[in-house]
């Protein structure tokens, strides 16, 4: 193969397949795997036939763990269609997938919004005598939560409570669990290394992360009464809610205009823990502003500084947006000048100045946006269109339009607004 490429010939997938098939049939499966790795690094990517040939070779060579590892690598790369076909092939050859193999495929299917197929695989796992672990339960439950099928998500949750689940203190995480982990949720789950050892699994009920997933699902579906009931049930079992649990509830309550209840939960956190973070403040700030509690929101914003909590750009964008809506343009300009703004900040400021008839400041900000290579979104271009249509303002905007058009045309981006100008 090296001589082929060294002589300048392009290798085709058929060439690779011929080589892989020959190596596997002559018992050189390890060499076939090296060739597979070369394909994965190059432009000619392996297909299902090549993966299948190698897994078949590994099975014939009685290297079952390597076959399972290769299958799991395919899933981790997002090639779930190939993985599903290979999974069937593995079962057909008499390979019994373990809990880790079932779980990562269940998780991959849920990530692709194939929750029904994921549930069929979950049921197959149980039928074949493999006890689901927390990865499988949480992935399936979160999959149903993501598409707002809360009845099905609750059934999975209750099944976890009734059956219990395999739970070990180790490192692997599902996609859903990893999202929670990014915001400091921790839970021990089954690792690839320990999944084959056996006899060390312990059966336990759902943990904080499982409860938090279900609560978050109910909150996103705006079923706050059910979410609060799960929350109370969680605490009755001696589990301590964490920041993610509270943030989901506070956000959900604000979305359904139950700001007073959200504030009560916020006060509970401050009194009992866990410690409030910038995410919690941002959620409540937006809820208070959106529901008309401007003064309370500004007091909460000031409180962040008083308790030594550093606001982030999301905090400032929320405050700036609502200060503009309340016509506090002078104060908001001072705040804006103290920041390193992003596109959302500029967008809020441009809209705020325009709505308060601060035309010169609007032009200045739009020029600044273009000079700093920020994109003009639909709101910005609509504002420019309105200003161009206004009597007596054409002269102020000719220079701005000249700057917008060449810069955006050079990137191949021309809107109908710009073409009409």
Do 153 and 217 touch, CB atoms closer than 8 A? yes
Low-confidence ranges of the chain (pLDDT < 70): 1-12, 42, 48, 78, 80, 93, 95, 164-205, 376-377, 379-380, 383-421
Counting DSSP H helices and E strands in the chain, the numbers are 25, 2
pLDDT at 57: 80
What CATH number should be reported for the domain whose range is 1-95?
1.25.40.10
SS3 149: coil
Domain ranges of the chain: 1-95, 312-421
Beta-strand relationship, 202-204 and 165-167:
antiparallel
Residue 16: is it exposed, middle or buried by C-beta count within 10 angstroms (0-12/13-18/19+)? buried
pLDDT at 170: 37
pLDDT at 164: 67
State how far the Cα of 311 lies from the Cα of 314, in Å rounded to an integer.
8
pLDDT at 301: 96
Predicted TM-score of the model (pTM): 0.72
State how far the Cα of 122 lies from the Cα of 143, in Å rounded to an integer.
12
Do 126 and 158 touch, CB atoms closer than 8 A? no
State how far the Cα of 328 lies from the Cα of 319, in Å rounded to an integer.
11
Question: H or E stretch including 138?
Answer: helix 134-146
State how far the Cα of 57 lies from the Cα of 83, in Å rounded to an integer.
17
State how far the Cα of 148 lies from the Cα of 133, in Å rounded to an integer.
23
% of the chain with per-residue pLDDT over 70: 75
SS3 357: coil
Do 67 and 90 touch, CB atoms closer than 8 A? yes
Per DSSP, helices labelled H in 2-47 are 2-6, 13-25, 29-41
Give residue-wise pLDDT tens across range 267-309. Answer: 999 888 888 899 999 999 999 999 999 999 999 999 998 999 9
């Amino acid at each position: 193969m090296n001589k082929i490429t060294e002589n300048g010939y392009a290798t085709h997938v058929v060439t690779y397949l011929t080589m892989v098939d020959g190596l596997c049939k002559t018992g050189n499966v390890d060499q076939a795997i090296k060739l597979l790795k070369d394909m994965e690094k190059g432009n000619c990517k392996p297909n299902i036939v090549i993966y299948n040939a190698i897994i078949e070779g590994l099975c014939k060579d009685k290297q079952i763990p390597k076959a399972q590892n290769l299958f799991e690598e395919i899933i981790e790369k997002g090639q779930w269609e190939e993985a599903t076909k290979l999974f069937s092939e593995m079962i057909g050859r008499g390979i019994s997938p373990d809990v880790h193999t079932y779980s990562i495929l269940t998780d991959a299917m849920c990530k692709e919004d194939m929750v029904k197929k994921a549930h069929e695989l979950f049921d197959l796992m149980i039928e074949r005598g493999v006890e689901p672990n927390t990865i499988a339960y949480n992935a399936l439950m979160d999959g149903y939560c993501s598409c707002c099928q809360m009845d099905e998500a609750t059934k999975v949750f209750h099944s976890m409570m009734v059956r219990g689940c395999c739970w070990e203190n180790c490192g692997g995480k599902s996609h859903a669990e990893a999202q929670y982990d990014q915001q400091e949720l921790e839970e021990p789950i089954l690792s690839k290394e320990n999944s084959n050892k056996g006899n060390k699994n312990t059966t336990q009920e759902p943990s904080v992360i499982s409860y938090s997933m279900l609560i978050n699902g109910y909150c996103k579906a705006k079923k706050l009464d059910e979410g609060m009931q799960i929350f109370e049930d969680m605490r009755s079992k001696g589990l301590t809610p964490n920041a993610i649990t509270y943030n989901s509830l506070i956000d959900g309550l604000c979305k359904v205009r139950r700001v007073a209840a959200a504030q009560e939960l916020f006060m509970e956190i401050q009194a009992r823990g866990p410690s409030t973070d910038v995410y919690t403040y941002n959620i409540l700030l937006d809820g208070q502003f959106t529901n008309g509690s401007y003064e309370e929101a500004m007091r909460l914003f000031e409180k962040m500084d008083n308790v030594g909590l550093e606001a982030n750009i999301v905090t400032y964008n929320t405050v700036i947006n609502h200060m503009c809506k309340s016509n506090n343009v002078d104060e908001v300009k001072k705040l804006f000048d103290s920041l390193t703004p992003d596109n959302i900040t500029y967008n809020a400021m441009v809209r705020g100045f325009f709505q308060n008839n601060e035309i010169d400041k609007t032009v200045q900000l739009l020029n600044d946006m273009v000079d700093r290579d920020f994109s003009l979104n639909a709101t910005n271009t609509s504002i420019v269109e309105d200003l161009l249509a206004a009597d007596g303002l054409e002269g102020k905007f000719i220079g701005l339009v000249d700057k917008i058009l060449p810069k955006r045309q050079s990137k191949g981006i021309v809107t109908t607004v710009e073409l009409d100008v």
